[in-house]
Chain A
Amino acid sequence: MTLSETVMASLVFSLTAAASVHVLDLVSMSVLELEKRQQRADQLEAGLVAFEGLLRSASHQAAPMGDCSQAAGQLLLVLQATLPAPGLHRDLSLEPSGQALQLQLRVDGLSQPRQRRYLPAALGLCPVSSPAEVARATS
């Protein structure tokens, strides 16, 4: 064992150790960031499931109508009266046609929102033309 060998070995080891510590630091930061993003994505999913539960409950309670724009407007009023879970930003609006609702659900720190369209006709809220149909739909 010579002095030069000892110096070389310690140099190699210390350089690699420094590089490894740096890489581990980056990896741990990435892991934390990924965990946060995963939690936010799960929070969005839970918010969406909760919203669809509300939508179903509201549509089962609402009376079917002949006009789908009217049904969409009524559904919007009922749903806007409810609050989203803390941390979530909900943007619920009527489409220009007035026949559909557009939902956009966001959470801080996640760039991509969840977006869905809901049509009262697909929920059985419209259009109904005869009193018999209304009675059947509400039974």
Chain B
Amino acid sequence: MAGRLDRRGGIRGVSPNKNKAEAGFLLPLASLASLVMLLGCLSMQSMTLQNAHRLAALTRLRQAEDSSMSAAQQLVAALQSQHRCLLPLPLEQWSTAGCISATQLQDLARGEVNAVPYQLVDWRPKANATLSAQPAAAAAAELLLDLHPLDRQPSRRSAFTVALQGNPPVVRDLRPLGLRGIAP
């Protein structure tokens, strides 16, 4: 350093303003670095929490899929075993089909599987199921179900396709088409 110390401890040839600026730069710098480190850690922790929430939501979704599948199996089995006359008809014609009473229809449309209530929303045979006169004709119907979980989870709507065969049709298979969002 070229300057000499004067009586007041300053350096001759260096301005007092520069001295003031240099004094006390370390603490703000350390504070700033600490703040950056803490913010980085907190953001990583929040990302981890977000991932944990996402995984929990995925688990709930898969459990809802399981309950929906079980409910659809129960409903389609009841149609196949006790109410085959309804298989070729869309849901809005079931009450006037003449082969099921109002009480039976109510019992069929609402049920419970593994303590989770469900409700039939729609049954829509594709056109060839209702019109085909071929004894071995293959057709399909779309089934919509609402699942109403009791543990504060939203109601979910699921869709299924039911393979039908023959005239009058019988059930051949049931396949999930996936969740269709939150039920209204």
- A residues engaging B (CB < 8 A)? 1-2, 5-6, 8-10, 12-13, 15-17, 19-20, 23-24, 26-27, 30-31, 34, 37-38, 41, 44-45, 56, 59, 68, 99-100, 112, 114-124, 126-128, 133, 136-137, 139
Is B130 an interface position by the 8 A CB rule?
no
Residue contact B23 to A23, C-beta cutoff 8 Å: no
Residue contact A122 to B24, C-beta cutoff 8 Å: no
- In the A-B complex, list the 9 residue pairs whose CB atoms are closest, starting with the nearest: A16-B34, A121-B77, A9-B30, A119-B77, A117-B70, A122-B76, A124-B172, A23-B41, A13-B30
Tell me the number of A-to-B contacts counted with CB atoms below 8 Å.
140
- B residues engaging A (CB < 8 A)? 22-27, 29-31, 33-34, 37-38, 40-42, 44-45, 48, 51-52, 55, 58-59, 62-63, 66, 69-70, 72-74, 76-78, 80-81, 113-114, 135-136, 163, 165-166, 170-174
**Given A2-B23, A30-B52 in contact, is the A133-B170 Cβ separation under 8 Å?**
yes
| Smallest beta-carbon distance A128→chain B, Å | 8
Interface centre among A45, A112, A121 (most CB of B within 10 A): A121
Complex partner residue of A122 from B25, B40, B174, CB under 8 angstroms: B174
Complex partner residue of B27 from A9, A26, A136, CB under 8 angstroms: A9
**Given A9-B26, A27-B45, A116-B66 in contact, is the A124-B37 Cβ separation under 8 Å?**
no
Residue contact A30 to B136, C-beta cutoff 8 Å: no
Residue contact B30 to A10, C-beta cutoff 8 Å: yes
Residue contact B23 to A1, C-beta cutoff 8 Å: yes
| Interfacial chain B residues near A17, Cβ < 8 Å | 34, 37
| Interfacial chain B residues near A128, Cβ < 8 Å | 170
| Interfacial chain B residues near A30, Cβ < 8 Å | 48, 52
Complex partner residue of A41 from B27, B62, B66, B72, CB under 8 angstroms: B62
Look across to chain A and name the residue whose beta carbon is closest to the beta carbon of B37. Answer: A20
| Smallest beta-carbon distance B51→chain A, Å | 5
Interface of B (DSSP majority class)? helix
| Smallest beta-carbon distance A118→chain B, Å | 6
Given A16-B38, A17-B34, list of 9 further CB < 8 A pairs? A12-B31, A12-B34, A19-B41, A20-B38, A41-B55, A100-B74, A100-B77, A116-B66, A133-B166
Complex partner residue of A121 from B42, B48, B76, B114, CB under 8 angstroms: B76
| Smallest beta-carbon distance B26→chain A, Å | 4
Cα A34 to Cα B41 in complex, Å, equals 18
- Could you list 25 A-B pairs, sorted by A, with CB under 8 Å? A1-B22, A2-B23, A5-B26, A8-B30, A13-B30, A15-B34, A16-B38, A20-B40, A23-B44, A27-B41, A31-B48, A34-B52, A34-B55, A44-B62, A99-B77, A100-B74, A100-B77, A112-B59, A119-B77, A122-B73, A124-B173, A126-B81, A127-B80, A133-B166, A137-B172
Residue contact B166 to A115, C-beta cutoff 8 Å: no
| Smallest beta-carbon distance A105→chain B, Å | 10
**Given A41-B55, A41-B58 in contact, is the A27-B44 Cβ separation under 8 Å?**
yes
